[in-house]
């Protein structure tokens, strides 16, 4: 079992904490493997593949985010609110509208290598493992075209009913474009679909 960090924005974090988000989609990085293409496996599913010209066999690429049973620690925007003799109190931007108990997490001061900065946020990309409060376990991984998302998938992505009769897929499309750009949905790229469950007590 391996652990990897993965960035989630504030809206995604809130959906995970609420129990609404159990899937995430991440685009392929074709530049890393220019010879990669999609091929059908024995079970009928599609998976990234390339021909091994040297050995005359197949190369099936691993998902860079992990496999079933691996764990993902959530990287989110945070700050060190205070440091005491034995513990440091962290505050998470995604939860600032919640109660103090819900927006904070305490870690041993021995592992907190950052000074207290009550007014300065640390971006999610710079979050260290010891500051993470959410741990996820991968329960399924597949690949598909972005536009193949279904209503149930959009719900599992944490999209909620707008109350105006819009499809949940429309809400997901808006969210995706806000992250990856206006043309990203129309491009219909291949994406990794990672399903997960939250590991209770999995904070660092």
pLDDT (tens digit per residue) in 129-188: 999 999 999 999 999 999 999 999 999 999 987 665 679 999 999 999 999 999 999 999
Closest to 160 in 3D by CA, of 30, 11, 57, 35: 11
CA distance linking residue 143 with residue 38, whole number of Å: 9
How high is the pLDDT of residue 54?
59
Q: In what order do the strands lie in the sheet with 57-60?
A: 37-40, 46-52, 57-60
**Do 67 and 160 belong together in one domain?**
yes
- Which residues have a Cβ under 8 Å from the Cβ of 130 and sit 6 or more positions away? 107, 111, 112, 113, 204
How high is the pLDDT of residue 148?
96
Q: First and final CA of the chain: distance in angstroms?
A: 16
Taking the model in full, what pTM does it have? 0.88
Question: Which of 85, 104, 131 is the endpoint of a domain?
Answer: 131
Examine residue 204 and state whether it is found in any structural domain, yes or no. no
With contact defined as beta carbons under 8 Å apart, do 157 and 171 qualify?
no
How high is the pLDDT of residue 80?
96
**Do 68 and 145 belong together in one domain?**
yes
Low-confidence ranges of the chain (pLDDT < 50): none
- Which residues have a Cβ under 8 Å from the Cβ of 39 and sit 6 or more positions away? 46, 47, 48, 49, 58
**Do 141 and 66 belong together in one domain?**
yes
How high is the pLDDT of residue 70?
98
Chain mean pLDDT for the chain: 90
Total domains in the chain come to 2
**Do 66 and 99 belong together in one domain?**
no
**Do 139 and 47 belong together in one domain?**
yes
Examine residue 167 and state whether it is found in any structural domain, yes or no. yes
Q: Output the DSSP codes for 87-134.
A: EEEEEEGGGTTS-HHHHEEEEETTT--S---TT-PBPGGG--GGG---
Closest to 73 in 3D by CA, of 14, 159, 147, 131: 131
With contact defined as beta carbons under 8 Å apart, do 169 and 161 qualify?
no
**Do 84 and 67 belong together in one domain?**
no
**Do 100 and 58 belong together in one domain?**
no
Is residue 75 exposed (0-12), middle (13-18) or buried (19+ Cβ within 10 Å)?
A: buried
**Do 56 and 155 belong together in one domain?**
yes
**Do 62 and 141 belong together in one domain?**
yes
Quote the domain boundaries for residue 98. 76-131
Examine residue 196 and state whether it is found in any structural domain, yes or no. no
Examine residue 200 and state whether it is found in any structural domain, yes or no. no
**Do 96 and 182 belong together in one domain?**
no
Examine residue 203 and state whether it is found in any structural domain, yes or no. no
């Amino acid at each position: 079992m391996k652990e990897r960090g993965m960035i989630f924005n504030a809206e995604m974090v809130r959906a995970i904490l609420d129990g609404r988000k159990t899937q995430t989609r991440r685009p392929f990085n074709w530049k890393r493997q220019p010879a990669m293409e999609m091929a059908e496996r024995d079970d009928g599913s599609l998976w990234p593949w390339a021909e091994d010209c040297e050995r005359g066999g197949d190369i099936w690429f691993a998902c860079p985010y992990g496999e079933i049973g691996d764990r993902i620690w959530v990287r989110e925007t945070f700050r060190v609110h205070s440091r005491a003799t034995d513990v440091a109190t962290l505050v998470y931007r995604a939860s600032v509208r919640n109660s103090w108990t819900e927006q904070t997490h305490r870690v041993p001061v021995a592992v907190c290598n950052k000074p207290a900065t009550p007014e300065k946020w640390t971006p999610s990309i710079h979050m260290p493992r010891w500051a993470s409060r959410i741990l996820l376990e991968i329960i399924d991984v597949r690949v598909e075209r972005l536009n193949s998302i279904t209503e149930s998938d959009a719900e599992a992505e944490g999209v909620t009913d707008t109350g105006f009769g819009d499809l949940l897929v429309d809400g997901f499309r808006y969210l995706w474009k806000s992250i990856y750009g206006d043309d990203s949905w129309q491009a219909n790229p291949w994406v990794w679909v990672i399903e997960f469950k939250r590991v209770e007590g999995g904070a660092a």
